[in-house]
Amino acid sequence: MAGARTSGDPRADLLALYDEAVAHVYGYVLARCRDRATAEDVTADVFLGAVDDVRRSVVGHVTTAWLIGIARHKLIDHWRRMEREQRRLEAVAADPTIASGDGFDDWDVQLDVLTARDALDHLGAHHRAALTLRYLDDLPVAAVADVLGRTVHATEALLVRARRAFRVVYESQPGTPEEVQP
């Protein structure tokens, strides 16, 4: 099975890459949604989306990095869909403290990673997507803007709002340092 990975035929390349790449794609998605069933759904969307791209001949080189790029979009699609389907009220966005937010950007705290991940789960899709791309994926703002289809300026503003929303949720979670003082 191993061997010829770049035959020049993207269809053959995609199938040849599958066995190795599926763990990378699944690992990427699982680390960001932490739910096996969702991770499987999104992983399937990634590969079947990749098939669509290959069939439309819009891809040159079939690589794992390319698949991760698709995974970013599919994960964001998933969050948006989930938000639409559940018609979940975005309690955070309605929180008046976010809009004013004085002092919110001077935040010096050692984040508890698990609590932080729970907080991400409670954000709206656009905030979650922005923070995931910028901080979990460590993408530059321009790259985040590119994935989200926004201007850099709009993305910077979105990130500011997302950070504030995150902080509100984070600090309201049980177990954060503010709430476990004796």
Partner 1 sequence: MTSDPFDQLRLSDQPVPPDRRFAARLRVRVANALSDPPRERRTFMTTDTDPTTTTTSLVPYLCVSAATDALAWYTDVFGAVETVRFTGDDGRIGHAEMTVGTSSFMLSDEYPELDVHSPQSLGGTPVTLHLAVPDVDAVYERAVAAGAVAAGEPKDESYGARSVSMHDPFGHRWMVQTPTGSPTWEDVQAQTDGFTITQGATGDAGTSDLPSDPA
| Residues at the contact surface with partner 1, assessed by CB under 8 A | 1, 11, 14-15, 18-19, 22-24, 26-28, 30-32, 36, 39-45, 47-52, 54-56, 106-111, 113, 116, 131, 134-138, 163, 166
Minimum distance of partner 1 from residue 178's CB (angstroms)? 14
The residue among 89 and 166 lying less far from partner 1, judged by its C-beta, is 166
> CA 34 from chain center: how many Å?
12
Minimum distance of partner 1 from residue 56's CB (angstroms)? 8
Q: How far apart are CA 29 and CA 70, in angstroms?
A: 11
The residue among 45 and 148 lying less far from partner 1, judged by its C-beta, is 45
Minimum distance of partner 1 from residue 60's CB (angstroms)? 17
Alpha-helix residue ranges (DSSP H) falling in the chain: 10-33, 36-55, 64-86, 96-100, 113-121, 125-131, 141-148, 152-172
C-alpha angle 31-154-78 in degrees, rounded to nearest 5? 35
